[in-house]
Structure 1
């Protein structure tokens, strides 16, 4: 659906055309007829209730899944045509999944994995690789934990480690699934603020699936509301949150209050009968 903020038609980083995806054991598609554009150097928040298709969209954009129908393209090229290393240099994905328990490395070693797309197999990291890794650790406020084993970190620290590894990839596009999960208020606010800063200063494109509508409305340029695998509203955050589609998607009456520079507060009022 066209965006009400007039951005449709600009050069797009990602483009989904009539995308459908169905998991093998599912009776209904997770996404159906989805056509979206994600422009360069923009922060797009994707919201929606559980089961709306947000995580599936993240996996499709990251090339982890392939659509059952339709197409996904990056910089005008179909996603399947991208070499995996080239795709990893262009796009980084931060999923909800925890780092594998079997990965017995230090935090430093884990973040260094973000340099894999730039390093030949078995070749040592270069001075620049190490500088980028150090910068990513500092960005995520994790430098003091660099030598600690990944398994010894708290849930919030592991979440920030995943973000640091993605930043170490130096991507042009950062795709995130619930980046503020496991984080306290301070670090959740810091993550959104730091991502917004990178959009402005480094022309990073951010696509963020999130349940935190207040932070999303405060920092995102655009918002997309998914419901039952379809995009039911898209545009500036204030317009999307004011749309009747929001209450219909979540199945409850909501009260939306504009908080100025703090974004919008979205309060559930009463559940609607199904």
Structure 2
């Protein structure tokens, strides 16, 4: 891979403290000691790494000995001479990127309009005493477009009632799921944390939510938010390595029992002054097959 060859000095093991210091130096958002959102940080980190790797690949591509990889379904970019090139594929794309298909079916002529979009994670709403599977099914459920929300059908040349739904067209190697536990409440004029109990499985099957119905994943990491408020708290991680679950709390790493994951499901009652440790971002690795 051209990135590794070109950027040997920029790869390797970095101490967590030094890593955070580097992030704060490069991005104003993280320079303060204010509480930051882990999902926002994830998005920042993914996009920043992509920018670095793409820059390195473009630099390496200036040498006649190297050729950039291409995105199989990516949109082509226009070049000055009229030629077309496809976007570069980085390690981040190959690991985390998937493709969603938005389908809208006109109920008058049955014409289906489809549009693809890429994603690095899925942000899903949570409900009290639910499961991750049920929340995903709700996320991918069919929506009826009627009344003021009617769909303009090109074939009918008019507004029509329609069914709209999403499906995973290409499942990523690592599926990242963000549980939307922070909700803005208009009556309070502020965000509040939803401590809802959401059970997430160790093994996840996408079924009808994906074009590959046999697509199956295994949980290997959970980012946990500790605290009762969006503005205050702490993040810890549970990560599976070599068959063992490990608990990461700043610079403290300890072996953890698999059963500990159940303590991060949430509270069965909305107002609970007990456990405030709740699963926030889930990482699932695809099992077998093509990714």
TM over 0.5: no
The structure that has the greater radius of gyration is 2
Greater share of strand: 2
Greater share of helix: 1
